[in-house]
Structure 1
Amino acid sequence: MYSHIFSRRALALGASLLCLSMSTWAQQQDAVAASVSEPGQSEKLGKVVLTGNPLRSQELAQPSNVLEGDALILRRGSTLGETLEGLPGLSSSYFGPNSNRPTIRGLDGDRVRMLSNSGASVDASSLSFDHAVPLDPLVIDRIEVLRGAAALLYGGNAIGGVVNTIDNRIPRQAQVGLSGASELRLGGAAAERNGAIVLEGGDKRLVWHADASARRADDLRVPSFTADGVTAQSVRNSASDSHGGALGASLLFANGYAGLSVDDSRNNYGVTVEPDVTVQMQRQRLSAAGEWRVDAQGSPQASGALLQRLTWSMGSTRYEHREVEGTGAVGTVFKSTGKDLRIELAHAPLGSLQGVVGLQWEDSDFSALGAEALVPSTSTRNGAVFVLEQFSSGPLALSAGARLESVRVDSRGDEASTGEEARFGAATRHSFSPHSLSLGGSYKLLGEAGGSKSATSKGLNLTANLNSTERAPMFYELHANGVHVASGAFERGDAHLRTESALGLDLGLVWQGSQQMLRLNVFRTKFSRYIALDATGVQIETDGQSLPEYAFKSVPALMQGFELEGRFDLPELLAGVQLSLTAQLDGVRGENRETGEALPRLAPLRASLGLDAQQGLWSGRFELRMAARQDRVPALDSPTAGYGLVKLSLARQFRLADVDGLWYLKLDNLGNKLAYSASSVATIRDLSPLPGRSVHTGVQVRF
């Protein structure tokens, strides 16, 4: 029902909102940056997380991480998955150096919601492990990660969590004169040559943004290994060449802003599992966003206004992905087009109660034509309404919310497969009505209670979150029928699948001192219907080869684990040298409750130990990352050996005239340890070890 209504009116509504935002004349914009803290502090507890937190409260019941500023620069990798790898509960579906999608608490694919400025990121990365996410970490200002069920605000596809990349392509703040940043990165295990530049200018009424980035990399160098009887010191067919850019502008008003941006991203990269295949990927997106607020001090109508803030965003995306054979012939073409609209309305406080209601609409069309088209052309329509309310009193904060969705998946069947063997049958339509409920809370056991403006106030805080979540099956889970080269299997969908259903509980305990922080989260998610891709035991003969058959089916499953992290400032041993110790331990276990078999691609027990030192403008870090042997694997998989990797980094801030800068040097895998990722699909794991010993240097300047 919601999809049908929204599909007719979404663009008209978005245009109306743009006119509404532009109708109020202004002098300056609200300080949205109040939630953004100083560079270099991004991994410490205490940030106001905007993703999944439209009420912008200081305490968030769900565990979260924020990367920005110098911390993001020093951690940034060539892909989003590599950038986030190693954070508590986060790993990546490592498919070589080019295709790394974040994995959260053992859940990957369409159980992790990928967002760009809180809007949908339309691509084909969830369909196959060898499909890259079309986001360049070089031009991202901030990354927010919510672990656990964030489906209340972003749908069932966030049942594992949310990764939101935030940039300033639609500016939200007044700008006086010209400013910008430029970064150059060289080296690494793939001999990368990376560069990016961002320029921004304007005044108190009109602000503009422009950025451009490029990256080239050779085949990834790794410690000597043997695969398929061949010994090598590099990962075959793993080179890449990418570039992109964007333009954006906003009009600023006393009570908000309205803006537009357009961006283009292109990436040509090799597919390791197919030594003669190169992917040519391209994505263009047109985005619009705005906000209108009631100004309690400057508006005479504010005292009786029910609406406090209206925020909206919309976008239109075109994505194309060509798999090119070594001869130059195009094997398979994946195309996806999508439109999305999101509206949030925050009402005025009703005593101690504040809340937000919202609408979301998404419309996407997908097609895959060619030799590896294992799914038919499909259209997916998704509409949703949601509400979130929060109550605060003294040391106690409670929240409750609900979301109702309407999802329609239309398959064109074999009508688009002219001249090809019929595999998908007649055109079909499937409709689903997922719903999600959430209860959360935080209680300050020790320290300042209520009224504190600081998110980093000292004390002991307890958090809890209970979620009941449903996810509609994806089109490939319903309609797959063909060879999936990336997983080395013949996959079959099930058109009779029902919604995936889970009940999750997350408990957290956070202690924040003046020089210490300790955080513990334990979680348990019980699936009554988990859509699993399981082996059937049947071998399928196709094109002269015999492949195991895997089928999508609903099974009862259980995911549970913990995350422990801490930071402690050490006594000053040398004059002017500040030392701090960081430590982390996390683990996740998942099993099919029907058979007792382990769920696939789970990261093992992991630990890390870091020592940070800072003296004046200089800073350095020593880090040891360890992973245990992963031997809890499905019957047709094999265990992954444990490892320990040593990393070092050195950085210096500097200032030349009106230019601020940061120079850094990173040394990774100093022991040149041969290591493999347990969260990789089995077909790629032995072909692509983790990077070997490397040196990476770069410089960023800001003016």
Structure 2
Amino acid sequence: MKYLLLAVAAAPLLSGIASAETEDAVKREAPVIVTLPGPQRSAGELVSNVGALDRNAIVANLSATLGDTLDSQPGVASTAFGQGASRPILRGLGAERVQVLTNGIGVIDVSAASPDHQVAADGIDAQKVEILRGPAALVYGGQAIGGVVNVIDGLIVEDLPQRPFSGEAYAASNSVNDGTEGGVRVQAVTGPLVLTLTASQRNFDDYDFPGMAESDRLHALEEAGEGEEHEEEAHASGTMENSFVDTNTYAGGLSWIGENAFIGVAVRRAESQYGLPGSSHDHEHEEEEHDGAEEHEEDLPFIDMEQTRYDLRGGISVNRGFLTDLTVSASKVDYTHTEFEGPGEPGTVFESDGFEGRIEAGHVLGPLEGEFGIQYADTSLDAIGDEAFITPTDTTSVGVFLYETKDWDNGFGIEGGIRAEQVDLDNRDNGSVSFDLFSASAGVHRHWASGWFVGAQASWAERAPNSSELFADGPHLATVQYEVGDVTLGKERGLNLEGTARWENETMSVGVNLFVTDFADFIYLTPTGAELDDLPVFAFSQQDAQFTGGEAFAEYQLLGGPLKADWKFDAGLDFVSAEFDDGSDVPYIPPVTLNAGAEADWGALALGAKLTWAGDQDSPGTGLLETDGYVTADLHANFDIARYGFGRQGTKLFLEARNVTDEEVRPATSVLKDIVPLPGRNIRAGIRFLF
């Protein structure tokens, strides 16, 4: 971290190289969603509730993991496994049903296999993060049945930058965990070549939390079960034991950009160590046998993760015949994470090596404009050690897709696509299984000059069970379960219907999206009532299920309002309910959640506040306790120091107070919700310097 802070201090000197250049004018435009297939379109032109975070929004929402960074976005929740491992959940669907991408290609990690596995993509060095649902997401395969999260790092550049040299330095400190974080990005241009280098670092200690680690419900249950007063855990003192996280990333990309073509290569190295909180609760009786706290500390488990990723991407504008452009992307990934029982004591090792490639061809077919392509992926997963709940498995998939759009001058538009895919899984102990998958989607919408937009869409998606769902057979201590797969599982199928209505003018926008998804043979993990290795046995099973929900959102801007400030107000409400065919509840579904914010901007200074209200989750699923709701408040202040000659436009100091009232927060989506609450009050201060 000290090197990153030195880089921030040196940034004003570097900025002198480009200080003579004229700053670009500020432009306010709807974000163009590059994750979409076919012609470029903005979020406002789509039926689904599609979102995008630019670099400013990423820094403002940045947390230790991708899931927590996106948690406040409409329809997005987090698996919330401490500070170190949280994956995004879209409309109640997560893990293997949400495809996390890096620059349009899968992350190729093992984060979908377990909530304690970190996603190998992090917003700390991202330029943009896009959230995609609906028909267009299906071109990325069956794992996108719930949606797509695409982390765009900008290492491979497709358009020649305007400045010969530019960069960004970012650093921040956090009070709740005595943590520091920072990153540096530099970009140099010479002729048609563009070199981009990035580095980032995060050091978070164990975080503070209000109240007790155990929820009141779990505490009362344990007291009743023991028939005597339950003794509070040693880690329930206000600091979450073993919740630290340290990350380092280093990356570089080199691009050649011609008049009608580009090609680039990139390498990214990610390293992470993080503790598994809640482990001392699971082994509290073993702790009593130790003589001292020092011996107990040595027993705390943690994960050491490493990933090296190689990317190649190139494109050319063809504009010949019916073809308009051609893009080729490929990634090779080497991934390892080791689960340590204590310092120097490696336990289970997970290894995943993989290759994924896509060829996408833009085209015009009569009145239709769209894209067709092919995707190939080959990944291997192996686990060695005491907690190797899955044996070596190779997974290969080949998919072809077609996506078309058409917009008329009267505001009417259509979109739709199809995808056919074959997935083969070969397990060392259980042999091979194969799945033929088919997905299709169609949508219609209408724009009016008055600002109204109305649309509806339908999609049919099929997903093959993954390696854990098919072949798991072993103890999984992080989730306190013995997991058993089922090689006879069939493919999961979902029919989604969604409608939207939106209205906007120059200062205000409001909208609502409503959806229902009927799943046939929904795959889920359920308790069997048996025990193995002193752990409850959970088995993967299938049953029909229905998800119903939606999002409502509004935004209002007032220029030159009270206190002579430019004001911005926004609010979003999202809700989802999920029930199995037998009437039981699907587990780990987020509750009704409201986010509302206000900001006043005087140019040099901006002040804002955000309120989050989450309702009770009283439909928790079989074997789970209900979860209380919560209300949190955040405050922030930004000071634009570029106005005073420090750095380029966008350079600012920021100060935030998250969870100002130190509220106890337990996400209903977390497997640790009853023993690991989220961090309490956090004062975050930092700088983002552009040069």
Normalised TM-score (structure 1): 0.86
User: Given the alignment of the two structures, is residue 462 of structure 1 paired with residue 454 of structure 2, yes or no?
Assistant: yes
Q: Deviations over 1:228-284 (max 9, x none)?
A: 722320111011211111111011111120000011000011111334111110000
Cα separation, 2, equivalents of 1:201 and 1:497: 52
Pair 1:38–1:221, CA change in 2 (3 A): farther
Q: CA deviation at 1:321?
A: 0.3
Asked whether the equivalents of residues 38 and 404 of structure 2 are also in contact (C-alpha less than 8 Å), the reply is no
What SS is found at the alignment partner of 2:209?
strand
| From 244, 248, 267, the counterpart of 1:243 | 248
Alignment-derived partner of residue 559 in structure 1: 547
Partner amino acid for 2:679?
P
Q: Any residues of structure 2 matched to 1:537-686 within 5 Å, and which?
A: 538-542=529-533, 545=534, 547-570=535-558, 572-593=560-581, 595-655=582-642, 656=645, 659-660=648-649, 661-681=651-671, 684-686=672-674
Asked whether the equivalents of residues 497 and 553 of structure 1 are also in contact (C-alpha less than 8 Å), the reply is yes
Q: CA deviation at 1:189?
A: 1.8
Unaligned runs of 5+ in 1: 1-36, 295-301, 414-426, 448-457
Alignment-derived partner of residue 479 in structure 1: 471
Q: CA deviation at 1:72?
A: 2.2
Q: CA deviation at 1:658?
A: 5.2
Partner amino acid for 1:574?
P
| From 19, 38, 53, the counterpart of 2:37 | 53
Q: CA deviation at 1:38?
A: 9.0
Alignment-derived partner of residue 171 in structure 1: 157
Q: CA deviation at 1:305?
A: 2.4
Alignment-derived partner of residue 421 in structure 1: none
Partner amino acid for 1:440?
G
Cα separation, 2, equivalents of 1:293 and 1:149: 25
Alignment-derived partner of residue 688 in structure 1: 676
Partner amino acid for 1:129?
P
Q: Any residues of structure 2 matched to 1:38-437 within 5 Å, and which?
A: 46-58=30-42, 59-148=45-134, 150-175=136-161, 176-227=163-214, 229-230=232-233, 231-275=236-280, 276-294=300-318, 302=319, 305-348=321-364, 350=366, 352-393=367-408, 394-413=410-429, 427-437=430-440
Asked whether the equivalents of residues 40 and 69 of structure 1 are also in contact (C-alpha less than 8 Å), the reply is no
Pair 1:658–1:696, CA change in 2 (3 A): closer
Normalised TM-score (structure 2): 0.88
Cα separation, 2, equivalents of 1:150 and 1:475: 26
Q: Deviations over 1:281-337 (max 9, x none)?
A: 00001100011003xxxxxxx5x5221100110010000000112252111000000
| From 524, 527, 546, the counterpart of 1:532 | 524
Q: CA deviation at 1:40?
A: 10
Alignment-derived partner of residue 439 in structure 1: 442
Q: CA deviation at 1:386?
A: 0.2
Pair 1:47–1:689, CA change in 2 (3 A): same
What SS is found at the alignment partner of 1:509?
strand
Asked whether the equivalents of residues 39 and 69 of structure 1 are also in contact (C-alpha less than 8 Å), the reply is no
Q: CA deviation at 1:532?
A: 1.3
Q: CA deviation at 1:573?
A: 4.2
Partner amino acid for 2:445?
S
What SS is found at the alignment partner of 2:238?
strand
Cα separation, 2, equivalents of 1:629 and 1:57: 38
What SS is found at the alignment partner of 1:221?
coil
Asked whether the equivalents of residues 363 and 370 of structure 2 are also in contact (C-alpha less than 8 Å), the reply is yes
Pair 1:326–1:356, CA change in 2 (3 A): same
What SS is found at the alignment partner of 1:126?
helix
Cα separation, 2, equivalents of 1:86 and 1:118: 23
Q: CA deviation at 1:474?
A: 0.1
Q: Deviations over 1:429-458 (max 9, x none)?
A: 0000111000012111x31xxxxxxxxxx6
Q: CA deviation at 1:613?
A: 0.7
Give % identity: 30
Q: Deviations over 1:191-242 (max 9, x none)?
A: 2111100011013411111011111010011112143722320111011211
Cα separation, 1, equivalents of 2:46 and 2:186: 34
Q: CA deviation at 1:114?
A: 0.3
Asked whether the equivalents of residues 345 and 358 of structure 1 are also in contact (C-alpha less than 8 Å), the reply is yes
Total equivalences in the alignment: 624
Q: Deviations over 1:30-65 (max 9, x none)?
A: xxxxxxx99896xx9x32212133321342222200
Pair 1:190–1:149, CA change in 2 (3 A): farther
What SS is found at the alignment partner of 1:222?
coil
Asked whether the equivalents of residues 149 and 469 of structure 1 are also in contact (C-alpha less than 8 Å), the reply is no
Q: CA deviation at 1:117?
A: 0.4
Pair 1:658–1:482, CA change in 2 (3 A): closer
Partner amino acid for 1:104?
L
Cα separation, 2, equivalents of 1:680 and 1:657: 43
- RMSD between aligned alpha carbons? 1.7
Q: CA deviation at 1:87?
A: 1.1
Pair 1:326–1:516, CA change in 2 (3 A): same
Q: CA deviation at 1:480?
A: 0.8
Q: Deviations over 1:376-414 (max 9, x none)?
A: 10000010000011122221110121000010000011x
| From 492, 509, 514, the counterpart of 1:517 | 509
Cα separation, 2, equivalents of 1:222 and 1:150: 40
Asked whether the equivalents of residues 149 and 158 of structure 1 are also in contact (C-alpha less than 8 Å), the reply is no
Q: Deviations over 1:626-662 (max 9, x none)?
A: 0111111113100111110010000012222654411
Cα separation, 2, equivalents of 1:188 and 1:342: 43
Of 660-669 and 207-216, more deviation after overlay is shown by 660-669
Asked whether the equivalents of residues 150 and 159 of structure 1 are also in contact (C-alpha less than 8 Å), the reply is no
Q: CA deviation at 1:488?
A: 1.6
Pair 1:677–1:580, CA change in 2 (3 A): same
Alignment-derived partner of residue 450 in structure 1: none
Pair 1:188–1:81, CA change in 2 (3 A): farther
Asked whether the equivalents of residues 135 and 443 of structure 2 are also in contact (C-alpha less than 8 Å), the reply is no
Asked whether the equivalents of residues 626 and 642 of structure 1 are also in contact (C-alpha less than 8 Å), the reply is yes
Asked whether the equivalents of residues 496 and 516 of structure 2 are also in contact (C-alpha less than 8 Å), the reply is yes
Q: Deviations over 1:447-483 (max 9, x none)?
A: 1xxxxxxxxxx61001212100000110110011111
Pair 1:570–1:647, CA change in 2 (3 A): same
Pair 1:39–1:431, CA change in 2 (3 A): farther
